[in-house]
Amino acid sequence: MTTRVKVCGITRLEDALLACHLGADALGFVCWPGSPRFVEAEQVRAIVTALPPFVATVGVFVNQTPEYVAAVASTAMLSAVQLHGDEDPALYAGVGRRLIKSVAVSADFDAARAVNALSQRVTMLLDAHDPIRRGGTGRTIDWKVAARAAHLRRVILSGGLTPHNVAVAQSSVRPYALDVSSGVESAPGVKDPVRLRAFFGALVDRDTASDESTRATAPDPNAH
Protein backbone atom coordinates (compact mmCIF):
# COMPACT_ATOMS: atom_id res chain seq x y z
CA MET A 1 0.00 0.00 0.00
CA THR A 2 1.26 3.47 -0.86
CA THR A 3 2.44 5.48 2.14
CA ARG A 4 0.27 8.54 2.57
CA VAL A 5 1.73 12.02 2.99
CA LYS A 6 0.60 15.02 5.01
CA VAL A 7 2.30 18.35 4.34
CA CYS A 8 1.90 20.38 7.52
CA GLY A 9 2.38 24.04 8.40
CA ILE A 10 0.59 25.32 5.30
CA THR A 11 0.01 29.07 5.33
CA ARG A 12 -0.17 29.94 1.61
CA LEU A 13 -2.49 28.80 -1.16
CA GLU A 14 0.32 28.33 -3.67
CA ASP A 15 2.07 25.90 -1.33
CA ALA A 16 -1.16 24.00 -0.73
CA LEU A 17 -1.85 23.64 -4.45
CA LEU A 18 1.69 22.49 -5.23
CA ALA A 19 1.55 19.89 -2.45
CA CYS A 20 -1.73 18.58 -3.85
CA HIS A 21 -0.31 18.51 -7.38
CA LEU A 22 2.64 16.45 -6.16
CA GLY A 23 0.33 13.94 -4.50
CA ALA A 24 -0.22 15.04 -0.90
CA ASP A 25 -3.09 13.15 0.71
CA ALA A 26 -3.54 15.73 3.47
CA LEU A 27 -2.60 19.28 4.36
CA GLY A 28 -2.01 20.48 7.91
CA PHE A 29 -2.83 23.94 9.27
CA VAL A 30 -1.49 25.05 12.64
CA CYS A 31 -4.34 26.63 14.59
CA TRP A 32 -2.26 27.28 17.72
CA PRO A 33 -1.16 30.93 18.15
CA GLY A 34 2.09 29.85 19.80
CA SER A 35 3.48 28.58 16.48
CA PRO A 36 5.28 30.66 13.81
CA ARG A 37 3.10 28.75 11.33
CA PHE A 38 -0.18 29.87 12.92
CA VAL A 39 -3.07 30.65 10.58
CA GLU A 40 -6.49 32.02 11.48
CA ALA A 41 -9.58 29.90 10.82
CA GLU A 42 -10.79 32.20 8.06
CA GLN A 43 -7.41 32.00 6.31
CA VAL A 44 -7.58 28.22 6.45
CA ARG A 45 -11.11 28.24 5.05
CA ALA A 46 -10.03 30.40 2.11
CA ILE A 47 -7.33 27.87 1.23
CA VAL A 48 -9.52 24.82 1.82
CA THR A 49 -12.26 26.06 -0.50
CA ALA A 50 -9.71 26.32 -3.34
CA LEU A 51 -8.37 22.78 -2.96
CA PRO A 52 -9.15 19.88 -5.28
CA PRO A 53 -11.53 17.20 -3.97
CA PHE A 54 -10.40 14.22 -1.88
CA VAL A 55 -7.61 16.08 -0.06
CA ALA A 56 -7.92 15.84 3.74
CA THR A 57 -7.49 19.01 5.78
CA VAL A 58 -6.12 18.75 9.31
CA GLY A 59 -6.08 21.42 12.01
CA VAL A 60 -3.27 21.22 14.58
CA PHE A 61 -4.17 22.33 18.11
CA VAL A 62 -2.22 22.50 21.38
CA ASN A 63 -4.07 22.31 24.70
CA GLN A 64 -7.03 24.31 23.42
CA THR A 65 -10.54 23.62 24.69
CA PRO A 66 -12.85 21.21 22.89
CA GLU A 67 -15.27 24.09 22.33
CA TYR A 68 -12.59 26.20 20.67
CA VAL A 69 -11.38 23.31 18.55
CA ALA A 70 -14.92 22.51 17.41
CA ALA A 71 -15.58 26.13 16.45
CA VAL A 72 -12.36 26.44 14.44
CA ALA A 73 -12.88 23.06 12.77
CA SER A 74 -16.31 24.18 11.62
CA THR A 75 -15.22 27.61 10.38
CA ALA A 76 -12.09 26.28 8.67
CA MET A 77 -13.91 23.32 7.12
CA LEU A 78 -11.43 20.83 8.56
CA SER A 79 -11.83 17.11 7.98
CA ALA A 80 -9.66 16.07 10.95
CA VAL A 81 -8.20 17.47 14.16
CA GLN A 82 -4.66 16.83 15.40
CA LEU A 83 -4.11 17.21 19.15
CA HIS A 84 -0.48 18.14 19.68
CA GLY A 85 -0.42 18.93 23.39
CA ASP A 86 -1.28 17.09 26.58
CA GLU A 87 -4.93 16.57 25.72
CA ASP A 88 -7.07 13.58 26.59
CA PRO A 89 -8.56 12.64 23.19
CA ALA A 90 -11.70 11.32 24.90
CA LEU A 91 -12.64 14.90 25.80
CA TYR A 92 -12.63 15.86 22.11
CA ALA A 93 -15.01 13.16 20.86
CA GLY A 94 -17.74 15.78 20.50
CA VAL A 95 -15.71 17.87 18.05
CA GLY A 96 -17.20 15.83 15.22
CA ARG A 97 -13.95 15.24 13.34
CA ARG A 98 -11.51 12.36 13.02
CA LEU A 99 -8.86 12.66 15.73
CA ILE A 100 -5.08 12.40 15.49
CA LYS A 101 -3.03 12.44 18.70
CA SER A 102 0.62 13.40 18.75
CA VAL A 103 2.73 11.16 20.97
CA ALA A 104 6.20 12.39 21.89
CA VAL A 105 8.96 9.84 21.39
CA SER A 106 11.44 10.57 24.18
CA ALA A 107 14.28 8.48 25.61
CA ASP A 108 11.92 6.45 27.81
CA PHE A 109 9.27 5.83 25.12
CA ASP A 110 7.56 2.46 25.48
CA ALA A 111 5.90 1.55 22.18
CA ALA A 112 3.59 -1.14 23.56
CA ARG A 113 2.45 1.02 26.46
CA ALA A 114 1.83 4.03 24.19
CA VAL A 115 -0.15 1.93 21.73
CA ASN A 116 -2.33 0.43 24.45
CA ALA A 117 -2.98 3.82 26.04
CA LEU A 118 -4.57 5.31 22.93
CA SER A 119 -7.97 4.36 21.57
CA GLN A 120 -7.91 2.57 18.23
CA ARG A 121 -10.36 5.18 16.97
CA VAL A 122 -7.64 7.82 17.34
CA THR A 123 -4.72 7.85 14.89
CA MET A 124 -1.29 8.01 16.53
CA LEU A 125 1.29 10.51 15.30
CA LEU A 126 4.88 10.01 16.46
CA ASP A 127 6.95 13.18 16.83
CA ALA A 128 10.02 14.50 18.62
CA HIS A 129 9.61 15.54 22.24
CA ASP A 130 9.49 19.33 22.60
CA PRO A 131 7.18 20.77 25.30
CA ILE A 132 7.74 24.34 24.05
CA ARG A 133 7.52 24.36 20.25
CA ARG A 134 5.20 21.32 20.03
CA GLY A 135 6.32 20.27 16.55
CA GLY A 136 8.08 21.63 13.50
CA THR A 137 11.42 21.27 15.29
CA GLY A 138 13.34 19.55 12.51
CA ARG A 139 14.47 16.86 14.97
CA THR A 140 14.17 13.19 14.05
CA ILE A 141 12.99 10.47 16.41
CA ASP A 142 14.35 6.97 16.99
CA TRP A 143 13.07 5.12 13.93
CA LYS A 144 13.67 1.70 15.49
CA VAL A 145 11.34 2.63 18.33
CA ALA A 146 8.84 4.10 15.86
CA ALA A 147 8.94 0.87 13.87
CA ARG A 148 7.89 -1.10 16.93
CA ALA A 149 4.83 1.11 17.32
CA ALA A 150 4.08 0.91 13.58
CA HIS A 151 4.13 -2.88 13.82
CA LEU A 152 1.42 -2.75 16.48
CA ARG A 153 -0.92 -0.18 14.97
CA ARG A 154 -1.39 2.43 12.25
CA VAL A 155 0.93 5.41 12.87
CA ILE A 156 1.89 8.68 11.23
CA LEU A 157 5.63 9.32 11.31
CA SER A 158 6.77 12.89 11.90
CA GLY A 159 9.88 14.63 13.16
CA GLY A 160 12.73 15.95 11.03
CA LEU A 161 11.74 14.33 7.75
CA THR A 162 13.54 15.76 4.70
CA PRO A 163 14.08 14.82 1.05
CA HIS A 164 17.43 13.33 2.14
CA ASN A 165 16.19 10.96 4.85
CA VAL A 166 12.58 10.19 4.00
CA ALA A 167 13.31 7.06 1.98
CA VAL A 168 15.27 5.53 4.85
CA ALA A 169 12.65 6.58 7.39
CA GLN A 170 9.87 5.17 5.24
CA SER A 171 11.63 1.83 4.71
CA SER A 172 12.74 1.56 8.34
CA VAL A 173 9.43 2.38 10.02
CA ARG A 174 6.85 1.42 7.37
CA PRO A 175 4.30 3.90 8.69
CA TYR A 176 0.76 4.41 7.48
CA ALA A 177 1.63 8.02 6.67
CA LEU A 178 4.44 10.56 6.75
CA ASP A 179 4.09 14.10 8.10
CA VAL A 180 6.53 16.74 6.83
CA SER A 181 6.79 20.43 7.65
CA SER A 182 10.12 22.16 8.33
CA GLY A 183 12.02 19.74 6.09
CA VAL A 184 10.44 21.25 2.96
CA GLU A 185 10.53 24.91 4.02
CA SER A 186 12.62 27.97 3.19
CA ALA A 187 11.17 29.71 6.27
CA PRO A 188 8.54 28.73 8.86
CA GLY A 189 5.24 28.41 7.01
CA VAL A 190 6.82 29.00 3.58
CA LYS A 191 7.31 25.83 1.55
CA ASP A 192 10.25 25.55 -0.82
CA PRO A 193 9.07 24.19 -4.21
CA VAL A 194 12.41 22.50 -4.91
CA ARG A 195 12.48 20.75 -1.53
CA LEU A 196 8.82 19.81 -1.76
CA ARG A 197 9.31 18.22 -5.19
CA ALA A 198 12.44 16.44 -3.98
CA PHE A 199 10.56 15.05 -0.99
CA PHE A 200 7.85 13.46 -3.09
CA GLY A 201 10.44 12.26 -5.59
CA ALA A 202 12.31 10.45 -2.82
CA LEU A 203 9.34 8.38 -1.62
CA VAL A 204 10.12 4.72 -2.12
CA ASP A 205 6.80 3.16 -3.09
CA ARG A 206 5.54 6.18 -5.01
CA ASP A 207 8.63 6.09 -7.19
CA THR A 208 8.09 2.38 -7.80
CA ALA A 209 4.42 2.88 -8.60
CA SER A 210 5.30 5.72 -10.96
CA ASP A 211 7.88 3.60 -12.79
CA GLU A 212 5.41 0.71 -13.15
CA SER A 213 2.73 3.08 -14.42
CA THR A 214 5.14 4.52 -16.99
CA ARG A 215 6.08 1.05 -18.22
CA ALA A 216 2.43 0.01 -18.42
CA THR A 217 1.43 3.00 -20.54
CA ALA A 218 4.52 3.26 -22.73
CA PRO A 219 4.12 2.04 -26.33
CA ASP A 220 5.61 -1.34 -27.18
CA PRO A 221 8.53 -0.67 -29.55
CA ASN A 222 8.07 -4.14 -31.08
CA ALA A 223 4.39 -3.64 -31.81
CA HIS A 224 3.35 -3.31 -35.47
Phi/psi at 27 (5° precision):
-120, 140
Look at residues 55, 50, 57, 20 and name the one whose alpha carbon lies nearest to residue 200: 20
Active site amino acids: 8, 127
CB atoms within 10 A of CB 219: 6
Contact of 55 with 25, CB cutoff 8 Å = yes
Q: Helices 193-202 and 204-217, interaxial angle, to 10°?
A: 80
Compute the radius of gyration of the chain from its Cα atoms.
18
Rounded to the nearest 5 degrees, what angle is found at the Cα of 188, between the Cα atoms of 146 and 16?
Answer: 85
The percent helix, strand, coil of the chain (3-state, each to 5) is 40, 20, 40
